[in-house]
C-alpha cells in the first residue's frame, strides 16, 4: 500500500479520536440542559463514541502496519500499544453508562451515578489520547 494513503487513513482515524478530547467539555455543558435535551445529547455522544471506536480500529490497523515498517524502539511500541488498548477499553466501558443514562432519563430516574462514570471515563480517555499524541510527536524520547 502506498505510504501516503496509509498516512492519510491514519490521520482520518486521528481526527475521529478528537472527539475524546472535547468530550469532557461537552459533558460539562450537558448538566444545564433539560431532560429531553440531555437524553438527546447522551444518545449523540453514544453515536460519536461508536464512530471514535471505529477510528481506533483504523489507528490499530494503520499504526500497526507503520510500526512494522519503521524504526521504533520496543518500549515506545509497547507504550503506544498499551495506550491504544486502554482507549479501546475505556471507550467500550463508557458505552454502557451512556446507554443506561439515556434510558434512565426517559424513565425520569436519577442518572447521576451513570453521568459520573461517563465524566470519569471521558477524562481518562482525553488523558490517554493526549499522552498518545505526546509519544507520537516525541517518539525519540524512549
| Domain limits, the chain | 3-137
Q: What is the pLDDT of residue 133?
A: 94
Please check whether residue 125 is in contact with residue 16, taking contact to mean a CB–CB distance below 8 angstroms: no
pLDDT, tens digit, 9 for 90 and up, residues 1-56: 678 899 999 999 999 999 999 999 999 998 888 989 999 999 999 999 999 999 99
pTM of this structure: 0.91
Given a cut of 80, is residue 62 above it in pLDDT? yes
Please check whether residue 43 is in contact with residue 95, taking contact to mean a CB–CB distance below 8 angstroms: no
Averaged over 80-91, what is the pLDDT?
97
Q: What is the pLDDT of residue 57?
A: 97
Amino acid at each position: 500500500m502506498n505510504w501516503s494513503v496509509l498516512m492519510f487513513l491514519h490521520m482520518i482515524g486521528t481526527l475521529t479520536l478528537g472527539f475524546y478530547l472535547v468530550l469532557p467539555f461537552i459533558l460539562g455543558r450537558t448538566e444545564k440542559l433539560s431532560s429531553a435535551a440531555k437524553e438527546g445529547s447522551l444518545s449523540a455522544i453514544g453515536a460519536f463514541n461508536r464512530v471514535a471506536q471505529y477510528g481506533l480500529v483504523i489507528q490499530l490497523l494503520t499504526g500497526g502496519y507503520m510500526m512494522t515498517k519503521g524504526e521504533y524502539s520496543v518500549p515506545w511500541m509497547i507504550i503506544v500499544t498499551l495506550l491504544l488498548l486502554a482507549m479501546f477499553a475505556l471507550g467500550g466501558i463508557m458505552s454502557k453508562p451512556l446507554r443506561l443514562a439515556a434510558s434512565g432519563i426517559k424513565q425520569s430516574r436519577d442518572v447521576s451515578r451513570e453521568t459520573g462514570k461517563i465524566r470519569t471515563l471521558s477524562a481518562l480517555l482525553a488523558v490517554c489520547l493526549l499522552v498518545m499524541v505526546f509519544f507520537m510527536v516525541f517518539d525519540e524520547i524512549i
